[in-house]
A and B are shown apart, each in its own frame.
Chain A
Amino acid sequence: MAKLSYAKALNRALADELERDPSVCVLGEDVAAGIAQLTLGLAKRFGPERVIDTPISEQAFTSMATGAALCGMRPVIEFQIPSLLFLVFEQIANQAHKFSLMTGGQVSVPVTYVVPSSGSREGWAGQHSDHPYSLFAHVGVKTIVPATPSDAYGLLVSAIRDDDPTVIFAPALAMGIREDVTTELVPVPIGSARIHRQGTDVTVVAVGHLVAQALAVADELAGEISVEVLDPRTVYPFDWNILAGSLERTGRLVVIDDSNRSCGLGAEVLATAAQEMRLIAPPRRVTRPDGAVLPFALALDRAVQPGPDQLAAAIRAVMK
C-alpha cells in the first residue's frame, strides 16, 4: 500500500465523513480552494453547499457553527492559523462548550474545530506559531493532537462523530509525516493513548509532532537507556490509566510538550503522576519556556521550541 501523508489522512477522513453523513459540512476561510490542504478537492466533490467559504469573520462563523449544530448539523470549522483560536476563545470556550451544561442537557454542540498546521511552521513568527492545546484542555474542551497519519485519520473521524465540541490540532511539523498504511483506516477513540515503543527505564510522554522526535531520541539512547514512548493522542480527556500502567513498569517520567511551561500539559502530567502514580525519581518536562512568544529568526524560533537535545538530557537526568 502507498504511503499516506498526515495531511492526506486528514483530507481523507473529512471526505469520508462528508460522504457518510449529510449533516457534516465544512466552513472556513479558503476551504473551497483548499489552501490548508485539509479540504483539497472537497469543494469540487461535495459542492459549495457542503464546503463553504466564509469571509474573514472568525468569531461570527465559529458561533454560526454552534447555532447550526443546535439545529442538527455537524459542522467542521477550519482555522488556517492556530493563533485564531485566541480570537474565537469566547465562541468555543464560553459558548459552544457551555451550552450542554447551561441548558441542563437540552442540547449538544457537535462541532469540530481543526487547525491544519498548529505550532511553529518555522518563519511565521509571533502570531502564527502558537500551540494552545493546553488552554483548551484547561477549560475542558475535548482536545486532540494526533502524531501519525493513521491517528490523524481515526481521531478526526471520531471528533466529527462526537456530540461535543472538539478541537483537533494538526502540528505543522507533523503534516508532512508519511506512514505505510497496511490495514484499513479506522476511527480512533477519543481519550485513548498509544504506546509507540515499549521500554523499561523511562516513560516519555510526547505530544503531536514531538512523538517522532521522542522515538528518534529513544533509538539513539537504546544501548544505554530503555525508553518507553507514550503518545496521549488526546490531551483532554487524558488517558491516565495507560500512563499509570507505564509508570508501574518504569517509575520514571519525562514529558515533552510544545506548550509554554507554566500551567501547560506537562505540568498537569507531572502533578498527576506525583500525586497518584509510581515514581522512583523526580520527573522532568521539556517545554517551551514560560510565557514564550515565538520570535521570527529561525535560530530563535528553534531555541524556544522543545527539542531532541533537551529531551535526551532530561531522560539522562531522571536516570541519575
Chain B
Amino acid sequence: MRLIRSFEECALRLVKSGEIVGGIHPYIGEEAVAVGVCAALRADDLITSTHRGHGHVLAKGSDPSRMLAELCGRDTGLNRGRGGSMHAADVKAGILGANAIVGGAAPIAAGAAWAAKRSGSDRVIATFFGDGALNQGVLLETMNLAALWRLPMIFVCENNGYATTMATASAVAGSAAGRAAAFGLPSLTVDGMDVEAVHAAAARAIAAARDGQGPTLIEAMTYRYGPHHTIELRVRLSYRSEEEIERWRRRDPLDIQGARISAARRSQIDGEIAEIIESAHEYAKSSPDPDPKEALAFLYASGMTGRGGAADG
C-alpha cells in the first residue's frame, strides 16, 4: 500500500511537471482494495484493471520502474510507451490490461476464466471495476454468463462513491449486491479501507472460484481522496465536500494497517519504498523515447503496415 501511495504521489508530481502527459486517475485512498485482492491471488492468477489501474498493476507484481516509464511514455515502459496510464498491461505478471471503457474488461476477464477452466488449469481471474460499471449492460451480461458457466473469476467492485462526479446514490438503483443476487451470485460487502478485511473476503471468494463453485462479487466500500482525473486539479469542481474527504481520510488504509505493525517496521518500509520510487523515477527519466517511425509498430501481430502517415507525400 505504501508502494502504491508513494507511486501515485510521485506520478502526481510528474503530471504537474509535465513529465507525464495526459494526466492520470489517481488511486490514492483505495490502496487496500488492490492489495487485499492481489495478495490473495497466486502469481499465475490473472487480473483485469480499470482506468484507475496503477494500484492493481503494482499490487499484482509489476515492476514500478517499468510502470512509471510507461506513464512517462518511454520505450522501456510495460507497453513500450504504447499504452500509458489507462492501458498498462503486463501479461507475464498476470495483468491482462487496464481498460479505459467502464465495465469493458469484465467480459475479457470472463473469457480468460473460461479458457482457464477449459484447459483444466485452476487459475482464477479477478476483474476490478468501479461503481460506475454497475450500470453498464456488458457487466450485467458478463455476470449472467459467469454465473451460468460457473467461471473461475471474482468480480471486485471498488465502490468509491462516485462515477466521475455523479454520486452512487444518484446513479445506482438497487445495489451491487442486489445485482449479484439477481444472477444467483454470492456477494460480500467489505470495508475497502481495511486491507485485512478485503483480503479475507477475497481469499474466500478466490478459494470458492478455484474450487469450481463459480464467481463471487466483492463490493469494497472505499474512497478516492484526490480527483477523478488530474484534469480536475485545473478546474475546481464542487461535487463533494471537504468534510466528506476528511471523514474518509481519518480511516486511511495505510494508518489502519500501519497500526498493526511496529513503528520501526513501518518506518523501515517507508524508507525502502522511497528508494524504490526514487530509482523508478531515475529509470523512467533516463529511458529512451520510442521512435516515432515505429508509432504503429505492434498494430498487427503479423507486422502488417498500412498506408499514410508521416512518410506519405
Contact partners of A67 in chain B: CB under 8 A = 48, 96, 107-115
**Assembly CA distance A105 to B302 (angstroms):** 10
Min Cβ gap B293→A in Å is: 15
A-B contact count (CB 8 A): 145
- Chain A residue with Cβ nearest B139: A60
A216 contacts B by Cβ under 8 Å: no
Min Cβ gap A155→B in Å is: 15
Chain A contact patch, size range: 35 or more
**Assembly CA distance A102 to B298 (angstroms):** 8
**Assembly CA distance A60 to B92 (angstroms):** 25
Provide the B282-310 mask, 1 if CB < 8 A to any CB of A, else 0: 00000000000000111111101011000
Min Cβ gap B95→A in Å is: 10
Contact partners of A57 in chain B: CB under 8 A = 141-142, 144-145
Min Cβ gap B110→A in Å is: 5
Chain B contact patch, size range: 35 or more
Contact partners of B111 in chain A: CB under 8 A = 63-71
**Assembly CA distance A49 to B115 (angstroms):** 11
Would A63 and B107 count as touching, CB distance under 8 A?
A: yes
Would A64 and B82 count as touching, CB distance under 8 A?
A: no
**Assembly CA distance A67 to B116 (angstroms):** 10
- Chain B residue with Cβ nearest A237: B304
Contact partners of B48 in chain A: CB under 8 A = 67
B81 contacts A by Cβ under 8 Å: yes
**Assembly CA distance A59 to B144 (angstroms):** 12
Given known A-B contacts A102-B83, A140-B306, A60 and B298 have beta carbons under 8 A apart? no
Contact partners of B116 in chain A: CB under 8 A = 71
Given known A-B contacts A55-B144, A71-B112, A162-B302, A103 and B89 have beta carbons under 8 A apart? yes
Would A100 and B115 count as touching, CB distance under 8 A?
A: no
CB contact between A59 and one of B46, B78, B119, B137 (< 8 Å): that residue? B137
Given known A-B contacts A63-B104, A108-B301, A164-B300, A102 and B141 have beta carbons under 8 A apart? no
Q: List 15 A-B contacts (CB under 8 A).
A: A60-B141, A64-B145, A68-B111, A68-B112, A69-B111, A71-B115, A91-B138, A94-B101, A101-B298, A104-B81, A106-B90, A106-B91, A107-B89, A164-B304, A191-B304
Interface residues of B (CB under 8 A from A): 46, 48, 77-83, 87, 89-92, 96-97, 99, 101, 104, 106-116, 118-119, 137-138, 141-142, 144-145, 148, 296-302, 304, 306-307
